[in-house]
Structure 1
Amino acid sequence: MSLSLKNISVTHFVLVGLIEIESFGYVCAVLALALFSVTLFMSSMIVYVTWTEKSLHEPMYILICIMVINVMFGNTSYFPKLAIDLLSGCSTISLTGCLCQSFCIDLYGTYEIFSFTIMAYDRYLAVGHPLRYHTLMTNITTQTISLALCVFNVVIVTVNILLTLRLTFCGVNINNVYCEIMSIQPLVCNDITINVMYRTILTLFISIVCLLLIMYCYLRTVVICLKLSAESSHKAIHTLMTHILAFSIYIVTVLFLNFRYSLSTGSISTKVDIIIPLIGSSIATSANPLIYGIRTKALREKIVCNLHNWHTKRIK
């Protein structure tokens, strides 16, 4: 970066990804709105039935409810703006708007792995210590742990945004369809060593700790399931496979999204570089409510029952 650019004051960025897909922008906008609507509906139903049905006032369903609320938050920070920008033909975003969207997306993404960690631990306790489960993992304990991790998450993401605020930007073209810290770092003029170190250390710490806990809990739960009766083992493994499926999709999409940053500039086409975060983010922010809503029997039955009752009342 030449020194002559150092004093440029950037107030707006250009989302190059939106320009690259503008030829089929209306199709993408309709798909984004459809996916957002379906995910929001399913998430709302899960939250509603968990809140209203006393039989679902258990740690596992509370954790699923908290997770889909996080998904709703992530969806709201991503899909509506994407659809509006595509329909209006707008491809710019203010610095403030960019940092706000980065904050929301980081908050969603980081809290997601925390949610999976708590859920893995909850299933391990439920299968491995059934007699002490309701003492070890109460509803209050679940809510307290979730709230504490939420506060911790807000703090670490806020620090990352504050570190970004002190930087000077020389470029305006963001090679993405939305704003995130990793996408705007190549546009920075001054030294970003502190930012990179903070993000790297934090990412490694959270990833290693959470992944080790999740793997330990899942492996221990599988081993215990193999020693149970056929009926108990089938039920426990079905629930466990639902969590593993959702977690696997999360991990794959995270790796998929980060894959583009490991590639050197010019090694892939601009359109492909744009499609990667477009598809990856869409999957990451919509898969979980559908998986838990369909595969979790108690939730599925309550959702279907409520929909049937609403339909019956409407007809009358």
Structure 2
Amino acid sequence: MLGNISEASTSFVLLGVVEMEKFKFLYSAIALFVYITTMFICYLIILVVWTEESLHEPMYIFICNLVFNGMFGSSTFLPKLTFDLLSGSTTISFSGCLVQSFFLHSFAAIEVFTFTIMAHDRYLAVGEPLRYPALMTNTRAMKFIIINWVSAFLVVFVPVTMTAYLPLCGRHLNNVFCENMSLIKLACGDALVNNIFGAVEAFLIDISCLLMIVYCYIRTFIICLKISKEACQKAISTLVTHLAAFSTFMIASFFILLRYRLNSGSVSLAAHVLITVIGLMTPITANPVIYGIRTEALKIKIVRKFQKMTHRDF
């Protein structure tokens, strides 16, 4: 057992990468294409909001934070996955595993917190239109974002640190990347404390954020029924955009959580890999597309910026 612990603490085998080796060039090409495309679209959105003064508003600042988090999330595993597939590497060090786990869970926490802030922002914009400029300034929006990131790092740091001190008796992970639950499943002894702490923390955060989001959207919708038709249509269009992005994230999260409930013997490794990769990639790729297409003012500016960039090249 001591030998296993020592070996596990040195490196882990990513069985998901092993599973993908048969078509590694195809998968690496897809991963690289998705990563470059996502980074470019997100960069374009951030550039447009940064350079266009008409978009210097809290809503667009929050959209920037969301797509920047997508860049952060995709960078935590897609470059390594591409490199692993092309180089034939199927392992990751223990420290590297913990770091990747920390960043991936931080991405998810930031995503949840950002959707909560955006729901509150839209509630204020529709419910308090006259007071909104004072209630939600750009400076206040930036403070919310800073608190968002710091809070996400703090809530993720504790469970990942607890996992770092677990004695592990195994080195095979049923995934293409590291995340906390996969590591806990390799624990030699009883990991009840880790499981309870992680479950309670996730439940409290997810439920509180979900209740806040649902409350804000219901209240906003009720207010929309009482305002002018034109203002109502504009508000509803924005709500639908936020709901589409949030629903995509929640559905993807559900499938990832479902994976932990599946018996590893009853579901193939390929299915486990498919569930986690699609579950993680869906919100990362969907957010910039949803906001780039559905947010009219942003879409117009993006098209113009892209046309300027292409004409400059030619």
What TM-score does the superposition give when structure 1 sets the normalisation length? Answer: 0.95
Offset, 1:191: 3.0
* Matched-pair contact (CA < 8 Å) for 2:4–2:170: no
Q: 1 CA distance for matches of 2:144 and 2:202?
A: 20
Offset, 1:190: 3.0
The alignment partner of 1:93 has SS state of strand
The 1:7/1:142 distance shift into structure 2, 3 A limit, reads closer
* Matched-pair contact (CA < 8 Å) for 2:7–2:171: no
Find the counterpart in structure 1 of residue 57 from structure 2.
58
Offset, 1:45: 0.7
The AA in structure 1 aligned to 2:131 is R
Find the counterpart in structure 2 of residue 225 from structure 1.
224
Find the counterpart in structure 2 of residue 21 from structure 1.
20
Q: 2 CA distance for matches of 1:193 and 1:258?
A: 18
The alignment partner of 2:311 has SS state of helix
TM alignment of 1:96-245, pairs within 5 A: 96-245=95-244
Q: Which whole-Å deviations, capped at 9, do the CAs of 1:256-293 have from their partners, x for residues lacking one? A: 11111111231212221221112211213211111111
Q: 1 CA distance for matches of 2:310 and 2:79?
A: 28
Offset, 1:9: 4.0
The alignment partner of 1:187 has SS state of coil
Q: 2 CA distance for matches of 1:203 and 1:189?
A: 23
TM alignment of 1:236-275, pairs within 5 A: 236-275=235-274
Q: 1 CA distance for matches of 2:166 and 2:70?
A: 30
Q: Which whole-Å deviations, capped at 9, do the CAs of 1:13-63 have from their partners, x for residues lacking one? A: 000011112112211111111111111011101111111111111000000
Find the counterpart in structure 2 of residue 75 from structure 1.
74
Find the counterpart in structure 1 of residue 289 from structure 2.
290
Offset, 1:239: 0.8
Offset, 1:4: 6.8
Q: 2 CA distance for matches of 1:117 and 1:153?
A: 13
Query: Structure 1 residue 85 and structure 2 residue 87: aligned?
Result: no
Q: What RMSD in Å do the two structures reach over aligned CA positions?
A: 1.4
Q: 1 CA distance for matches of 2:85 and 2:173?
A: 16
Deviates more, 1:57-66 or 1:227-236: 227-236
Find the counterpart in structure 1 of residue 278 from structure 2.
279
The alignment partner of 1:285 has SS state of helix
Offset, 1:176: 0.6
Offset, 1:6: 6.7
* Matched-pair contact (CA < 8 Å) for 1:114–1:210: yes
The alignment partner of 1:183 has SS state of helix
The alignment partner of 1:14 has SS state of strand
Q: Which whole-Å deviations, capped at 9, do the CAs of 1:225-245 have from their partners, x for residues lacking one? A: 122222111111111100000
The AA in structure 1 aligned to 2:68 is I
The alignment partner of 1:227 has SS state of coil
* Matched-pair contact (CA < 8 Å) for 2:123–2:217: yes
Q: 1 CA distance for matches of 2:268 and 2:168?
A: 25
Q: Which whole-Å deviations, capped at 9, do the CAs of 1:139-189 have from their partners, x for residues lacking one? A: 111111111121111112111221111111110100011100111111111
* Matched-pair contact (CA < 8 Å) for 2:109–2:152: yes
The 1:102/1:7 distance shift into structure 2, 3 A limit, reads closer
* Matched-pair contact (CA < 8 Å) for 1:26–1:87: yes
* Matched-pair contact (CA < 8 Å) for 1:85–1:91: yes
